[in-house]
Structure 1
Amino acid sequence: MLTDGDGREAPDAQAVFASTRGWPIAVQFIRFAGRAGRDGDGMGVEAFLRDYVRDNVFRDLPDELRQLILETAVCKELTVPLAEAVTGRADAGALLSRALRMGLFLDAFDGGEATIYRWHPLFARLCRAISDEEDPGRNERSHRAAARHLEQDDAFAAIFHWRLADDPRAIVRVITERWVRIVIGADAAALDRICAALPAPHQNDPAILLVRACVHDVLGAPHAARTFLAQAVAVAGDEPDQAFALTLPRAQLFLLDDRAALATAAEHVHAGLVAHAHPDRRGRAALLFLVGWAGMRHRLTPRKTIDHLRTAAREADALGDDVLAARARRLLAFVLAWAGALRDARGVLEELGEAADDTRPWLASGGGAVTVAAGMIAYWADDHEAAVRDLRRALAGERAASSFRGVAGVMLALAAARSGDDVATARAVLELDALPGGDRQGVSWGAFRAMADAALADAEGRASEALAIARSHRSGDLPLVSVVFAELIRRSGDAPRALEMLRSLGPYREVSYVRCATLLTAALVHAERGAHRLAHEYGEQALEIGTREGLARLFVGAEPAMRDLLRAHLARGTDYEDLAARGARDVSASGPVATLSPRERAVLDLLGTSRSASEIADALQLSVNTLKTHTRSIYRKLGVNSRREAVRAAR
């Protein structure tokens, strides 16, 4: 047993601190009153301290300062604008500074943009008790004033005050107005707990049920989400209220799988943003992000999706919301890569720097954008090692419910087929087996699975099987799938059919890898027909796009007819010698060329251009002497004695 200096039993230190928060006079009172917490007259600690504050602390205070303390004691934290809103006094800031100077149980902290004030917790509780005795309605009025002020920037703090003001209708209103930016943030689970704790009948409000459906969707519980959605629709009935009508199209951006219906909902939400000045700027940025996120998941018009995400990032920057700004740019990088704007995607990734993928709860259906985008860029650049590394990292870091996991698995299959990496191939097969069987969130997973299977079959020497899969494909709105299948058909010797498939892609024909593949295939078709001038024009356009966007994958490792086309193109002259020479080389050769190191192959590619030795050294960031060393090694391995012989041997 612990005792004090007079031999009396000392109260437990943790219990004392929990009761007093270290306030010296309260600690001393408990020390002398003993463990029971009462003095000799039976007065409790709180009653004693309340009387002490009223009779001693408040006795000599100016009335305006006393009033400010009692009215703001309901707030856990204070800023000057909040104090002004709660008290209705323009001089609230000056009064807070005065209280601080007087040592009136007030602390001040640097909050970055503003000073944060906090009353001592026990002192604040005593002040609220005094308010209840003097004016039973004061605390409720203060809570309501604080809640109204906080709604714009801190929905959870506003809900806290509305709850203490015993106004569940106001809580429902705040949730239905602010829920989007909470759900796409890090606090979706906390919002669900608030919704579940609402008293009847408010917890069954149809708009609240819609919000809970979205929360469970982003937390990776789709079955619960569908249950809440069905309940919301049933409760709303045939004549839903205004809150439900406002919430429904926003909720549909989370919940719908039908692309046409989702596109309608996205247009509805965006039209509302355009038609009405949104009073909540943070809410506007969140809604723009949501529209962009839905467009990304369901492959709506890429240009609109990119615009929405870019605007969301800019508006978040202006608001100082670094989390939302980075999140928008992560998704933007992926959409740009998927849409073939690879140069812009690289720029966004460079802007993000070393920022890791977001793994907060809402991203159960949206995480991994950065690593998947990087893997896609590396794949199109024909950098097999980087593509496999990034895509495997995306798979290692993602939750099973993530739609990005499916994309990463499909892209890993394509990269593994190019690289011949057996370990990556095995992992890709496991991921393909886990893909949904049909359409999900507007994604035709069956078509992507067929594409990946065909690529792997072709890499394993089962060309007829791969070709059969490709020929069974019906072009639609899947540009990546059509490009991969068209290449397989073209390599079989049927360039006209491959060209027809690519030209049937409608609005996706301007996607960089679709446009480049179409031009390259058209060049081959015209060359086969003897229209060499036209073939050269198409080839030059393809090389320009391929060089600009980093699409070496479409040129390297092509069939003999395409390599012959690129050699003829080099002979006629081109502004894009590096890519043309790289494509003209037979990378599948099993002879001496296969013995070259990656650096030697890069040197060999440039030896096939008109560049001088010093220009090649500059392009590869080598010294001329190092370049000469690599060149001698290439000659020795290929058994040649000159640059021309080396280039000829590689072809």
Structure 2
Amino acid sequence: MAGIGKTELLRAWCAEQAVVTFYDLAHDSPARLRPPVRTKTSMSMVLDNVHRASTTQLDDIIGLLAQPAGPRLVLAGRWVPPRLRAGLPSAGTTEIDGSALALTEDETARLCARYGHLTPETLAEVYAVTGGWTAGAVVAATSIAGDPVGTEHHLRQLHAIGVTLHDYVVGDVLAHLSDDDRRAVADTSAVETVCAALFTALTGRPDAGRLLEDLARDRMFAVPVGERGWHRYRRLWRTALYLHAQHFEPERQRTLHRSAADWYLGHGRYREAVHHATAAGDHLLAAELSNRYRFHLIADGPLVTVTPAPSPTWPVPLTVVNRPFRQAGPVTAAAGVMSQPTAAARDAPDADVARHVVEHAAPVIAALDAGCPLEARAHLVTWLHAAQQLGPLPHARALRHSAATELQLGNLHLAAAHAGQTRRILAEHGVGGAHDDGWARIVLAAVHIQRDELTAAAEQLRGLAVDLWRTDAPLTAAEHLHHAMIEQQRGDARAALRTTRQLVETEPPSAELLYLHIQLLLANGDGADAGRCATTHAARLTDPLRRLVDANLLLAQRRAAEATETLQAFVQRTDGSVPHRIDALLLLADAAAQIGHLDHAAHLRRQAERVAAPAGIRRPFLLNAAYSLNAAYNGADPSRSARAERLPPATATLTDRELTILGLLDTLLTVSEIADALHLTDNTVKSHISGIYRKLKVHRRRDAVRLARALELL
């Protein structure tokens, strides 16, 4: 992938090696590649820009790979030439693609710091726009540092214009394609995700599958979405192509959007059909589809569309493209070959869909908003069945709400499973930028936070920022809320308070946001502001959260008896949020401790432990200062109690690879996903896991993680 920092990384690595030969095949390489003179030290050859290698050089590289005692080769390029890929040995080769080299949010922040001070909010936006692309982060940081007042303008420009990026994409990223292939790629940039059938519908190309496979082979330009042949183009690349075409060929772009609308309509994807009809300027069609399929649209749930809008600064100077596209003929609307929607989805009368929405979806959403997850679950039983009959998108929406319900009920494993299933369904059907996908990520982040897996939670939020591009206000608010929860859990209450204060001041706050904000105000010693916030926004708090807020305020004022009275009835309920019930039990314990009833306080904390133990909930205990610090509770903190157990001495023999896998066991990744992340086979990972279990003297993943935490191996 171009601009990801491969060459700099390799040169830095070479400087640390004893014996290494570096060749840049685009500039200073010899006509023939020979191994370096053998020494007692192992030899290495670094070959950069292999995509520019000549046929002779490729033959030499393949010959070096075939030598059993040959040098260690490090090959880098924007893509792997087909001739070289065919000659790569099946074993002993490790491939690192652009996604592995992409910067994390923290690395993006450190890079941007070289060009000037940027606020945390701006850094988060830079990461969301660039997706960790090094060159893009540099462009953003330098432009913003030069004009800090115009931060928002520069980010919009980086997101939208693609002036220099278009030449870069065509001349560098897509240089290995023919003019006709590049034209086809530019045409398909009109859609968020594309499969072979949709590609053919937009371009008339019967070889769409081959071209998509070529684009995705090294994840240089296209990234597979799901397992049914859907792909999406890297965000900035797609933006550059789309806006350039929209400026120079607006009529063609409108025709492409109309073709996309027809294709989506024919496949029962009404929301995308409305979106593309609007983008085509056919507002009559968009209005007709919106009216005809209004209840289908509600059942499917909102779709966050990220088709770039024209920059308000057009016209702007444009560099002449070195490799211009050739006209590939008129845009056609060929029939797709994707599986058709279910008969129920295609033929269901609007009245049936309306009944589905009113009878099933609305009660679930209302129950969740009121903090009554058991009631929501009762309605979900019928909603899930009905949604499955309507098609994959309504089913994904129902599953997303089921994940949120199980999260409130404290069933973290089931919440994660339903959220993951939501994401898989959407990916398998090529739904990009989906509202439900975003909320599924929020549920996964919340699960990790409750388990104190903060790195994994942050990864989910980073993926949300990049994939959905922060185009949906409630989702963005939820993302920032969970970032604040992570900061709070890491002990940075001031940073968390800055985040929640901005959210409360700029958006209508949710009940969960208000609860967290008031907690943070009290933690920072600002009881007066906490009381004012509770009074101002009292109508937005559900009854359970209102009781928790009142109890927090009363305890801050040393009014333990009143706090106990406020919570006593609440903890007897078993139909509410389990994390909130744990909070209430711990607050009652604090109240008992305030008035000197330490034995009763310890009993209440043990009761909270019993509620939290089945799901492995740890967050409430970590935030309860009295629970974790007061010696009167005899070290009851579940995050510390395992230290009293007998620890197996064999843990000292864990290898580096086993420690790496042990860290990944403390996530929601499956064995196959761990294998993919480490470039290993499933059987190799299973063998390492067996070794970990044997050395830790445990038999289950959960026990291994628990003991590893006690040993501070995680």
Q: Report the TM range for the smaller structure's normalisation.
A: 0.3 to 0.5
* Larger RCO (CA within 8 A; separation ≥ 6): 2
What TM-score, normalized by structure 1, do the two folds share? 0.41
